[in-house]
Chains A and B, each alone.
Chain A
Amino acid sequence: MALALHQRPDVRAGWLVVALISTGCVTVYQPLVGLQRPIAIDPSWSNTFAGTKLHLRCHQADGVEADVLCRNLRTAFSKQGAAVTTEVVRQPGRSAMAPNADPPQYVMDITSRRVGQSASALSAVLCIITFTIVPQVEEYSFAQDVTVRDAQGFILAQQTFHERFVESFGVGVWAVNGLLDLLVRPKEEQVTGDRFKEEFSKDLHGHLGQVLYNASVRARVMRSFEPDAPAKPAEKPKGAAP
């Protein structure tokens, strides 16, 4: 006797596969401290940091890919006219910046770290039992500590930013938001896909640009508005090869 269509194991398995394939994440980004404030520079202007020599030091921390951060920031600052060198500091306090005949005007240290993560076990269980119709919700909070120094090590600017990401995983939440994005929401309001990354990167890059700009103005004031003298090369450590 033939089974009804919905009772056939291959059809059931097919539905399960479809449900799993269509399951996805919806991630919402929320700026918490600093990042929601407006900035006064225009990050799309290619001349903001023309002639500026910047050394970026991205410090390795838990839950963050420092090399990716450095690479993205290098691109962002280069587009604004800065000559950028980067360095990923794997061990705290161990910078590999060598004495240089052409030292940078500014050194920007960025430590991006995960400050919190929360997930509900009940939510995970419900998510599995209901074939992800009930979403599993996780929250990640991150912080970026930024310090800008001049060539002599004088601190010109310091700032900390905080943000969080709320990630919902499940077919229900993904399908609903996918449809809303497709039919209702304007592009800047969409939450599926990588929109949260674009929004966060735009905020972070803009604010880091503003921090660097503020630092450069402070350096000018500290020099009593004298033109920027070429920085002296750092002394070679004793015993170093010529």
Chain B
Amino acid sequence: MRGLRALVGLLGLSGCVLDPRFLADPVVFSNRAERRSLDCTRLSQLEAFERYPGQVPAPQARTLASEDTTVLTCAPRYFGIDERPARDEAILSTLREQVGALADQARALHGREAVWHVDAFYPSLPVAQKIAVAARTTLAERGLTVSNRVPTLAAGDVAVLATLPPAEVYAAACRRSFETRVLEGNDVFLGVMIVDARETILHGGVCSEGAWRWLP
């Protein structure tokens, strides 16, 4: 059996070694899991040459004019596809884009004098912390004043809020935060959350002056 496999391998290689492009392709000689664990991006030849000098040849002037030559660049992922729960993986792998879009929408609603407080609501605490840190960082990157303080309501308020459906809980928590002066004045709260166990997108809402508003 081993001899047969070796023979089969040699026969296969005999057909492949003559085409170096074939051998260099990341899908050749890789199994399904390895193919799926690559993060691949298609770049223009100029961009690929700038990023990987020595590995990608410089584009010719004619190529530059037409821009129809692209280079596929692949790198192995830091985390395997199955290492984290599916929903966590789906959200974390698009966190920058999702949080960026929410931060842009939130910023458009309030002026620069606002002080932003951020928290995330997600079933897994480590993932919630990652989301909150990403949102704070993104707001700060956009030049806004961001507080590290997470507004926390009293235990009695939290116990009551925990009984409310999602349609009411965020609006009630927002109102209560301003009533109890957990938030006041220029404080604006950005909440980032999921509202359904099977979704893979993040929603955002803004609490300002006691009024809650969902971001589109």
Contacts and interface: CB of A to CB of B under 8 A. Distances in A.
B35 interface: yes
A36 B93 CA distance: 11
Nearest to A185: B31
B15 A31 contact: no
Contacts of B9: 176
B187 interface: no
B19 A40 contact: no
A38 B86 contact: yes
B165 A225 contact: yes
Interface in B148-179: 165-167
A221 B36 contact: no
A147 to B, nearest CB: 14
B11 A175 contact: yes
A217 interface: yes
Contact of B200 (A40, A123, A189): A40
A226 B197 CA distance: 18
A137 B35 contact: no
Interface stretch (A2-10, A99-107, A163-171, A229-237): A163-171
Contacts of B19: 120, 122-123, 126, 134-135, 137
Given A39-B86, A120-B21, A180-B8, A221 B195 contact: yes
Contacts of A85: none
A214 B199 contact: yes
B137 to A, nearest CB: 22
Interface string B70-110: 10100000000110001101100110000000000000000
A11 interface: no
Nearest to B168: A225
Given A38-B89, A224-B214, A172 B12 contact: yes
A202 B21 CA distance: 29
B22 A137 contact: yes
A214 B40 CA distance: 25
A162 B198 CA distance: 23
Residue picked from B5, B31, B195, B198, most chain A C-beta under 10 Å: B198
B101 to A, nearest CB: 11
B199 A213 contact: yes
A196 to B, nearest CB: 10
Contacts of B167: 224-226
A173 B42 contact: no
Given A28-B35, A134-B18, A188-B32, A116 B203 contact: no
A37 interface: yes
24 contacts: A29-B35, A36-B81, A37-B94, A38-B82, A38-B87, A41-B198, A120-B19, A122-B19, A123-B19, A123-B22, A133-B15, A134-B19, A135-B16, A137-B19, A137-B25, A172-B14, A173-B12, A173-B16, A183-B5, A210-B200, A217-B199, A218-B203, A220-B195, A222-B214
